[in-house]
Amino acid sequence: MRKTPGQDPIGAAPTNTETKAGTADTQGGAPPLSTVVRVRSLLPSLPPAERRVAQRVIDDPEAVANSTITELAQACGTSETTVIRFCRAIGFTGYPELRLTLATEAGRAQTAQGGRVVGSDIGPEDTLQLVVEKVTYADARAVEETAAQLDIEALSLVVDTIVDARRVDVYGVGASAFVALDFQQKLHRIGRTCFAWSDAHIMLTSAAVLEKGDVAVGISHTGATADTIDALAVAHKRGATTVALTNFPRSPIAEVADHVLTTAARETTFRSGATASRLAQLTVIDCVFVGVAQRTYAPTREALEATFEAVRGRRVRQERKRR
């Protein structure tokens, strides 16, 4: 993978130009990047012992904030050295800094929720009202946290690449296929040549005819969908610029991508990869689309007006509905 500027090498602590977990720049009113969000995104790439510590942070960050390093190590069935290694892997100097950050974030979250805990999984005894609160909270957090951690420099490079592209091919299977279709529809409407593919064989044949100047976008929440990875790898080999959209920046799809855009979705009970992750993906896709539209402002306005006129006559008028 060609490293997009601003991405940290695996296992490295953030540099001066990077955002440390839990202390993101809040310019423009953006929420700070949650430590839990970063830990969740790095979870699959951690060694097994560190992964147990990470899972504990994800499941109950407030309890971790109230635990000593010895208590956390015992709860995770590992050593204090492993806990320290985990802290450094996610960008902290040590456990005290992690505890302080988690405690601060927990207090901020409780204040924002008015003291109510709605970020947990849905249980069999939850009322429908509480289910609604938990679902909407998870969806809103997916969008907010995705925006907070989105690498603007990487986003800008992707936008530039698509603006200059001869054609854009988008790959995605399952729920990601719907996101790919949404991106195709948006780009087509402003006059950009774009195709969305979800069949494994067609994705591969599409990638096989791409060339330098083309762009291939692979969408996979886990970053481990073989069909999408294989198609993106073929496109990369053909010389096309490749872009990955995933929840996990160190996942296999990143290895065949020139640029990686990440989401920050957390799935809960009854909400597998087809729900909150899709909303997060659509958020990033919207950002890319608007960026492209903005940089091609005049022709985009003309295209939008033309497409609006093309379908305006297909809307049912109020007088007709009353007959």
Where residue 269 falls among pLDDT bands split at 50, 70, 90?
low
- pLDDT computed for residue 316 by the predictor: 82
Query: CA 244, CA 288: separation in Å to the nearest integer?
Result: 13
Query: In the predicted model, is pLDDT for residue 117 greater than 90?
Result: no
* pLDDT one-digit tens code per residue, 197-227: 999 999 999 999 999 999 999 999 999 999 9
* pLDDT one-digit tens code per residue, 251-262: 999 999 999 999
Query: In the predicted model, is pLDDT for residue 266 greater than 90?
Result: no
Q: Would you call 227 exposed, middle or buried from its count of C-beta atoms within 10 A (0-12, 13-18, 19+)? A: buried
* pLDDT one-digit tens code per residue, 26-39: 333 334 458 888 89
Strand, coil or helix: what is 128?
Answer: helix
Query: In the predicted model, is pLDDT for residue 113 greater than 80?
Result: no
| CA distances in angstroms from 101 to 16, 268, 297, listed in the order given | 19, 24, 42
* Continuous segment of H or E residues that includes residue 246: strand 241-246
